[in-house]
Structure formats: C-alpha cells, structure tokens
Chains A and B, each alone.
Chain A
Amino acid sequence: MSEKIKITSIKLENYRQYFGTQSVDFPNREDGFAAIIGENGAGKSNLLNAVNWCFYKKEPHTKKNEGYGIINQIYLDSLENDSIASMSVQIDLQKGEDEYRISRVLKVIKTEYQYEEIGSAKTLKMTDAQGYVLPWGCEVIENQSTFEILKRLKHEQNFHSDKKVSPNILMNEILPETLSSYFILDGEFLEKFWTGIQKVKIGIEQISQLHLLDQTLQHVDLLRKSVPQLGKQDIDTLTKKITLNDYYEYSKDHKGNDSFSSEPRFDFDSENDENEFYHATGDPRIKELELDIVKMETKAREVAEQFGASSVGAVKTLKEQYDTEESAYKTAFHDYQQAEKQYFSSFIENLPLFFLKPAIEYSIGIVDDLRKKGDLPYEAKKIFTNDLLELGKCICQTNLESKIEGGKETNPSRIEVMKVRDNMAEDQGLDASVNMKFYFEEKMLGDFNKFTTSSFDLPRKELSQANQNSLQHNTAIKEIKLKLQNLGSVDIEQLVKDHDYLIQKIQETRSEIKDIEFTLNQNEIKNREYRSDRKKLMGKDSKAKKIAHEQSVWDSVSEIFENTFSELKKEIRDEVQSKTMEIFLQTMYKQNKFKSFNIEPDYSVRLIDQKDVSILGSLSAGESLFLALSFISAIRDVTGYKFPLVIDTPLGRVSGTPRYLLSQALPKYLPDEQIIFLATDTEFLNPDTNVHEAEGRTEEPFGQLLEEQINVKYSLITGMENNTAEIIDYIPKWRKDD
C-alpha cells in the first residue's frame, strides 16, 4: 500500500467521443507535470470518466442527456448490422518495480438503428441497455465484456494474470473506489471542498481505514445488544431495560422499527438526504442534525457572501446601531407624547386663570372688604346666634329670654334673632368666596411668576426638548437606513435577519445535540450496570451461560475497538491538521497571514489567522484550492496511499494574482508525486488578462509560468466537433517562439 504508484499510459479505444485508438503516455514527476489540454466539451471530463470506468465501471462525471452513448458513434456507424462492436479503456500503472495493466472491455452487438422524430428533427433512438447508453436495440455481450488486471514483475517480459486474486479485490488494493475522488479530482470537487464536513470526514476515515474499525464496531455492537429472551424473568427484565435504552440510541420504536419525528429536515434535499424528517432520537438524529448544521453553515456563508465578505461586519454593526436607535426613538417618542399631553392640559387648565387674574383679584378684594366689616362665615354666624338664644341675652344686654303665650313666642327681640338665624342658611356666599380666595392665592396670586413658569414655560420647554430628542433619533435611523441601502441593492435587513436566524438555529441545534449526547451517556451508564447485573444472573443459569460467554467476548472486543478508534482518530486528526498546515505554508506566499489549521472532533475545519479569526470562508479561490490540495496531500502522506493525482480543470475560478501565485506554488507541491492536469486552453495556454502590469508581472500564460520552474509535457484533445476526438502531442506557442 505504501509503494508509490505511477500512471504510465492511458489507451482509449472508441470510448465516447474518442475515435479509434487514442493513447497518451505520462512522465514521472522527476520529468515534470503532464497537462492534457482541451476546450470545454472536448473530452477532458470523459477522460476522467474513462479512468473511473476502467477501474470501477462507473462514470461519475457524465452529464445528463449528453446525447451520445458510451461507444463512439462514428465507429458504430461504420459497422455492419449484427456485427460486434468493441470498446475498451486500458491503463498501465507502475507500483514499486511491478507493472500493472488494468483493462476493461465492453462488447456489444450492433443492430439496425431506429430513429425518432422530435418536432422536425430526426434523431437516433438511444436506450439504457444494461447500464450503458447505446443506440436502441444494441445488446451488451456480457460474457465477452471483461475486466482484468495483468501484472508484470521487474524481470518479466510479458504481463500475466494472477488467477488467485479477483481483479476487483486487486483494484481495491491499488485504489479503493471510495477514495478515488481524492485522487482523480474534478474541479467542482476541489472548489466545494470546504463547504461541508463530509469530504474531510470521509477523507480521514476512509483513507485511514477508520471506517473499517467503525463498521466492525457497529457489527460487534449489534451482536452485543442482541440477547434473546430466555424465559427467566429477572434476566429478561434487564434485557428489556437495556433494549429500551438501545432503541433510544438507534431511534427505534417499541417494535424495533425506525422512529421518525414530525420535524422536517433543514433544506431537505432528496438527492443527498436519506429521509425527509428527522429521526426521533439517538445517534441517527445526531447524525442528521450534524449534517444539517453543515447545510446551515453553508447557507449562512452564502448569505454572508451576498453582502460581500468585508461588508458583513459593517452591516451587522449598522444593524446593531439601528436597533439601538430604534429603541431610543420609541422611548423618546413616548416621552414626547407625554410632554405634549402635559403641555395642553396645563394650558387648558391655567390659561383661563391667567386671563381672569384681574377679575379674580377684584372679587377677592370684595371678600376682604366684607370680612373687614365683620361679616362672618355662615357656620360662625349660626353658632353665634344659637349661643345668644341659649344664653337668653344679647351682647348689647337686650333680653332674649323666651316668652311663650298661647303656644307662640312673644319676645320681639328673640323673634328677631331667630329670624336672622333661619335666614342665614340661604346666604353662604361669603364662605365659598373665602375658600376661593385662599385657592387662588395659593395657586396663582401668591407667586404669579411661579404660576406662569410652572403652568406654561416649563411644559413648553419639556415638550420642545422631547420633540428635539425624538427628531434626533429619527434622523439617526434615517441615516443608518441610507448607509444600509448603500451597502448593496439586496434586501440587507432581510439578509441580516436570515443570517441571524441561521446562526441562532445552528446554536440551538448544537445545544440539542449536546442534550441527546447527555441522555445517551446516561443511558450507557445505566446499561453498563444492567449488563453487569445480567451477566451475574446469566452466569448462574446453565442455559444462559453460553450466551453470557459470547457477550463477555463482545464486551471486551467492543472496548478494544472503541479505544483503538478514538485514539487513532485523534492521532490522525492531529497529524493531518499539522501536515496540512505544513504543506499549505510551504507553498503559500502569505505565510505570515495564517496561524493554524484545526480539524475539530466533528470534522469541522477552522483556518485561523494571526488575529485568531477563522478565515476559511473568506479565502480566495486560489487559497481555498491550495488548502484542499494540501489536505489531500496530508491524508496521502499520513496514511500511505500513493496514487497519482489527476486534476481536472484545476484553475476553475482562480485568476489574476491568485493564479500567478498558484503557478509559483504548484511546482513545489508534492515534489515526489506524479501529477496530471486536465485543463482548458484558457487556463493553461492563454495569457491571463486579469494580471495587471501594475502588479509588476506580465500576462504570461499559466503553463509558461509553471515552466519557469518545472517541465510540462503537453497533449491536446482535438476533433471534438464530429465525435472523432484525438489526443496528440502538443508544443505550446511560447516554446516555438523561443
């Protein structure tokens, strides 16, 4: 496994648009890079497909409705009906000192073509025959379609087959299919490398075979947990308790069937998500929540990208200012409304007093005059007259004694005083006037300046201040809104809301995962106790003894595998993260910009800069590509798979300065490994118009820049127009000019 592998040649015979026999040889890394150049649609991706088809009978890079079949149409057209068509791909490899020839052949019986009319066009009728797109009626000859791997040892002349090992197993040893996408790379795979944890997880687990440990552990676990009911109540009760906790762990209902919640998955994608709703509990739910956190993070990043990476912070700050101002404005406006109410009520209440001041003063003067003349208030008069009548004598000594004759009072003086007393009840004017006098004196006349200040000036000032305060906050809000609008034509507020929602959702989901993990942990503690108790009981029962024996084996083995898995996973994570950083820094120009590369236990990744900020999401396309290549190199290095890298459309969206920097970095990348590029002429051969003279560099093509440091062997795919693609040697223009 640790021996280096090189691809020495690829030979295609009538595969898709490649007509006849086409072959291309590849140099060792010591002799430089290999680059196969082809325009878009020329057949680069199908070359990648050819490698995959030869190795695994799969074509992962086939576009839907491509319109042509797996066998070259010109070739098929040239055959008589009922004759046998043959298509093949052959790849020669060198592994250490041994050579391998891997070839897959497809044989088909050609029958008479059928055509179908779509509108006015008449097209060849195609069909999906036994997994291959072929003209309708053509039939695959299974027993003549072969896959073989021949081997030639160092001193042998001819290739021979190893009959003891099936070619599929041998292929798996050379490069397992699950890992192939890390070696036979397409641009999209690299471009989206950091959009989720899956590529990191699979990369580490598959390449280091952690998945094998995990798979074995799962199987051991299932056996460990499948103790049958033994008809012994005490043992069976414990088994039931253990099973219930296991059901929680595996999200099963009481019958052992998969149990789902009614919550739909976040952004459900029928192609990638196995189920539309979350599992109810346990590990399956955690797994789905983790996958969806990645989706949420990707979405949050997309939202952030809509602002432009640099304006997100500004938008967030403005939004915070907006919220603060909006809240202050609400308070200020409320204060203004209160001040306004206060002002008007004071105005209404006190203005009449202000205008009636002379009249009030005049009325009070009259009251004071009356009081000066000895006029008394009603109550005092009443008490006084009653006292005189009771006493029977006036203060002027007049006799007021009662003198009754014939049932009637006859003392005229007493009768007079009694009349005065009785009439007084109808004359209380002075009392009210006196009260009024005191009221007005206290409220207004005592300190008239104070009255006017508190009744009119103060409420007016308060109202004016509240109004000004409210207007200030309103103006600030308008300015922030304007700034937000200037940051982009998109609905910034909505984007901020979406972003905040996603961040909150991520936090809630992480918190839920922690809760489930806590419950799982508690259940596991309980289950350990139950299992231990059950083991003791089973040891006493002859029928259960054999099962107990097997269980104790699974318990020990499970522990060994768990320890192996977790220790290995940590070691590999640590090793891959430091190796990735090392390779990344070796080849990157801005070494001081980056501080560390961390792979978390859940396989999420952080690239930290010198200010301790995570900057993975804001890397340039070139930096992101190189980080992915560094990661891939690290896992190769750590785990020992030494298959060459075949990279389709490596530059993708990388242009300008990052492209220039990549041309400087790539020659140093994996110095001992063979690297084959499949690239467009725009990527490799044409001047890069995005590089400006001002940056002190010329517009040299990428390939030419590479050649300043390393040799490149070029091949060119031609003849794409009529299904007669050929691969020919090519010499770039700049070499001819030299």
Chain B
Amino acid sequence: MEDNSQINNNILEKLKKFSKDKNEFRFCESLLQKELLWNDIDDPPFKREFPLSVNRFFPYDEDE
C-alpha cells in the first residue's frame, strides 16, 4: 500500500500549510499514518511509537 493512499489530501495540504517546515510536516504525516494503522486497535501503542518518531524527526541535541 502506498504511504499516503488513505490520508485525505485536504488534511495533508492543511498540515503543510500550518507546519513551519518540511520536517515538521513529514513528522505530522507520520503520526497520522500510524493512527491509520491503529484504526481497529483498542489500545494503540502511541505512548511508545510517538516518542520514537520525535527522536527520528527531531533528535535531541544535548548541547543545543
């Protein structure tokens, strides 16, 4: 299945509009993709998965 095949284009356009940059947009999009997969799951693992996405898109730099 293609990555965005199920996310409504209107949503993606708006996310792009309100995101500061491409990275932020991609991050939001990845969160939505995960939510789509958890559509039928009673207890979605967002507490584990979402912070992992933060690390991927916005890695923590201790010196910053």
Chain A residues within CB distance 8 Å of chain B = 1, 164-165, 168-170, 172-173, 176, 208-209, 212-213, 215-216, 219-220, 222-223, 542, 545-546, 549-550, 553-554, 556-557, 559-561, 563-564, 567-568, 571-572, 639-640
Contact = CB atoms under 8 A, between A and B. Distances in A.
A219 B35 contact: yes
A560 B10 contact: no
Given A545-B62, A557-B31, A209 B7 contact: yes
B32 A216 contact: yes
Contacts of A542: 62
A568 B35 contact: no
Contacts of B15: 560-561, 564
A549 B6 contact: no
A564 B18 contact: yes
B18 A549 contact: no
B51 A550 contact: yes
Q: What 3 pairs between A and B have smallest CB-CB spacing?
A: A564-B14, A219-B46, A560-B18
Contacts of A549: 58, 60, 64
B22 interface: no
Interface of B: 1, 5-8, 10-11, 14-15, 17-20, 24, 27-28, 31-32, 35-36, 39-40, 44, 46-47, 50-51, 54, 58, 60, 62, 64
B11 A212 contact: yes
Given A215-B35, A560-B19, A564-B11, A223 B28 contact: no
B50 A219 contact: yes
Given A223-B51, A568-B10, 9 more contacts: A165-B1, A170-B1, A212-B7, A219-B50, A542-B62, A546-B60, A550-B60, A557-B24, A564-B18
Contacts of B46: 219, 222-223
Given A223-B46, A559-B18, A567-B14, A208 B8 contact: yes
A568 B14 contact: yes
B37 to A, nearest CB: 8
Contact of B5 (A1, A168, A553, A554): A1
Chain A contact surface mostly: helix
Given A173-B5, A219-B50, A223-B47, A212 B36 contact: yes
A1 B6 contact: yes
A561 B14 CA distance: 9
A434 to B, nearest CB: 106
Nearest to B12: A564
B36 A553 contact: no
B50 A223 contact: yes
Chain B contact surface mostly: helix
A338 B58 CA distance: 88
A563 B1 contact: no
A382 B38 CA distance: 121
B11 A568 contact: yes
Nearest to A559: B18
A209 B31 contact: no
Contact of B31 (A168, A220, A545, A572): A220
28 contacts: A1-B5, A1-B6, A164-B1, A169-B1, A172-B39, A173-B1, A176-B39, A209-B7, A209-B8, A209-B11, A212-B7, A216-B32, A219-B50, A222-B47, A546-B62, A550-B51, A554-B54, A556-B24, A557-B24, A559-B18, A560-B15, A560-B19, A561-B28, A563-B18, A564-B11, A564-B17, A564-B18, A639-B8
A563 B50 CA distance: 20
A560 B51 contact: no
B10 A208 contact: yes
A550 B15 CA distance: 20
Contacts of B39: 172, 176
Contacts of B28: 557, 560-561
Contacts of A208: 8, 10
Contact of B50 (A1, A220, A559): A220
Contacts of B27: 553, 557
B24 to A, nearest CB: 7
A213 B20 CA distance: 18
A245 B60 CA distance: 29
Contacts of A165: 1
A542 B32 CA distance: 32
A545 B14 CA distance: 31
A164 B44 CA distance: 22
Given A219-B46, A220-B50, A545-B62, A213 B24 contact: no
Contacts of A639: 8
Nearest to A546: B60
A559 B15 CA distance: 10
Nearest to B38: A215
Contacts of A215: 35
Contacts of B20: 556
Name the residue in A168, A212, A542, A550 with the highest tally of chain B Cβ atoms < 10 Å from its Cβ: A212
A568 B32 CA distance: 15
A557 B8 CA distance: 18
Contacts of A216: 31-32, 35
Contacts of B17: 564
A481 B20 CA distance: 70
Nearest to B25: A560
A209 B11 CA distance: 8
Nearest to A561: B28
Nearest to A177: B40
Nearest to A215: B35
